[in-house]
Structure 1
């Protein structure tokens, strides 16, 4: 059944804590918007059960399609090319139940009714909401895309972070996905995979090439706040954050490239949402909890030896 607006996430049983923090933050501000889980891999049964029972999250209806889509995309580049090829499973968003949607990574918490960002899709086909472009082209492209005229300087000002974006259903077709991946596979020199990003460079290429009606919300009149947890200037105010550069509250915070653990940037914000409605454990307990025990370390070592 097609629905008007909704949110997609990807997750597996390894990111249960992050997923709970994200879902608690979403549901705190918005109890009703439908949310759909795209399984990151085959080990998702525990997280799916928790998210369905506590936060009304449904599993993507056509799991066979996700498998077929992701396998096709992997094969175009060849096995072993990407550090985290399962990130491409989120491309099932284009073909799911929601006419308008946002995709959100699990290393995010939101501070308001985030589905309202899809209001911009009344005018545009694709939206993003970050300052990825302000840091140059690293983690997306190499200078070769400019040297070869693939994109202009103006084009690359529309680069975005792959952890938060929105679009209209079927803006990208299956054919366009496969065509884009084939183009990219023939020009790996255009992309910066040095920090083990997998989907972000390819999806940026696809959007810049095929979706002219796109909009970065940070360019709205009056400006907009940042969203990256690596930004040190945000001011904490009642479990929210304010960006003093624009004197506006953040709509979401993204720990992209940052391990969420005691001592990380804005740790207290993440911990507040993760344990919303629960007693909050102290940091020492959480730090110990995150340390792998002896048996886990042995298993990891055995696994590495088998793979080598």
Structure 2
């Protein structure tokens, strides 16, 4: 029998509109699963105030978050709150999903937990060139082709408590820092990829499962900038196969950072931003 299951997300008040879209869409399709906010930094009062409406709690272990902040300083000159998602592996949920807050979740996520019977880590999208590593990693000799080609988007990760630990993460830092010249540094993504592929546990992605098995029913992460994608009434209407799991507004097309005329699937974003006001 599975243990306690839940979902984590990271946010602060600077992205409160994005968070509203995430929460509105997530609770429409996943009304009951426990949801917990991991604060990106100390400025999260507006986001926390949404907790009663959308049914989520707030992470309270500040000491563990401080350790995640310290880990970010191994790769960046200032603290990066993105590394705080690493705390999820020592959180309250035995099986969990981490989902970025710049997404609209379009279906129930329960099916993902079934994959944890065979894998320690399941991301939504992987094996896309340029996702985490520079080309030079191929000549570094420090990762196998399978490891660097995994190159997952770490905005959606399913895993189990203890698959990573802060002690293990700290121990991995010296070897990971040697790979820093080959990382596409910006957020935690290359480091978390490194932790996943060197964990000794099996790893995969929904994208990899779909493309290697030919099972087109495995839901897909849809990047908002993907050409030809269309939406209506809060749903993706083209393409319809594979079924969309979520829409992800990654850089540089975040709705709060550009002219709406330049934002793909902006109508879908507005649908979920304004959904509470219409109900």
Give the structure-2-normalised TM-score.
0.88
Q: State the alpha-carbon separation in 2 of the partners of residues 169 and 186 from structure 1.
A: 27
When the two structures are aligned, how many residues end up with a matched partner?
267
Q: State the alpha-carbon separation in 2 of the partners of residues 119 and 242 from structure 1.
A: 27
Q: State the alpha-carbon separation in 2 of the partners of residues 114 and 273 from structure 1.
A: 18
Matching residue within 185, 206, 226 for 1:217 = 206
Q: Deviations over 1:7-33 (max 9, x none)?
A: 000111111111111011111112110
Is 1:79 the counterpart of 2:77? The answer is: yes
Q: Secondary structure at the match of 1:24?
A: helix
Q: Secondary structure at the match of 2:264?
A: coil
Where do 1:294-305 residues align within 5 Å? Answer: none
Q: Deviations over 1:99-152 (max 9, x none)?
A: 11111111100111124322211221110112x423x1x241122321122223
Q: Secondary structure at the match of 2:198?
A: helix
The answer for the alignment partner of 1:10 in structure 2 is 10
Q: Which runs of 4+ in 1 moved over 3 A?
A: 74-80, 223-226
Q: State the alpha-carbon separation in 2 of the partners of residues 74 and 115 from structure 1.
A: 31
The answer for the alignment partner of 1:32 in structure 2 is 32
The answer for the alignment partner of 1:89 in structure 2 is 84
Q: State the alpha-carbon separation in 2 of the partners of residues 172 and 72 from structure 1.
A: 17
Q: State the alpha-carbon separation in 2 of the partners of residues 144 and 118 from structure 1.
A: 35
Where do 1:1-308 residues align within 5 Å? Answer: 4-50=4-50, 52-67=51-66, 69-77=67-75, 79-80=77-78, 85-130=80-125, 132-134=126-128, 136=129, 138-193=130-185, 197-218=186-207, 219-220=209-210, 221=213, 222-223=215-216, 224=218, 225-242=220-237, 244=239, 247-257=241-251, 258-261=253-256, 262-263=260-261, 264-279=263-278
Cα drift, residue 173 of structure 1: 1.6
Q: State the alpha-carbon separation in 2 of the partners of residues 15 and 214 from structure 1.
A: 30
Give unpaired runs (5+ residues) of structure 2: none
Give the structure-1-normalised TM-score.
0.80
Cα drift, residue 238 of structure 1: 4.2
Q: Secondary structure at the match of 1:10?
A: strand
- Do the aligned partners of 1:34 and 1:57 also contact (CA within 8 Å) in 2? yes
Give unpaired runs (5+ residues) of structure 1: 281-308
Cα drift, residue 247 of structure 1: 2.0
Q: State the alpha-carbon separation in 1 of the partners of residues 104 and 134 from structure 2.
A: 30
- Kindly report the root-mean-square deviation, in angstroms, between the aligned alpha carbons of the 2 structures: 2.2
Cα drift, residue 78 of structure 1: 6.2
Q: State the alpha-carbon separation in 2 of the partners of residues 124 and 242 from structure 1.
A: 31
- Do the aligned partners of 2:131 and 2:153 also contact (CA within 8 Å) in 1? no
Larger Rg: 1
Cα drift, residue 237 of structure 1: 4.8
Q: Secondary structure at the match of 1:154?
A: helix
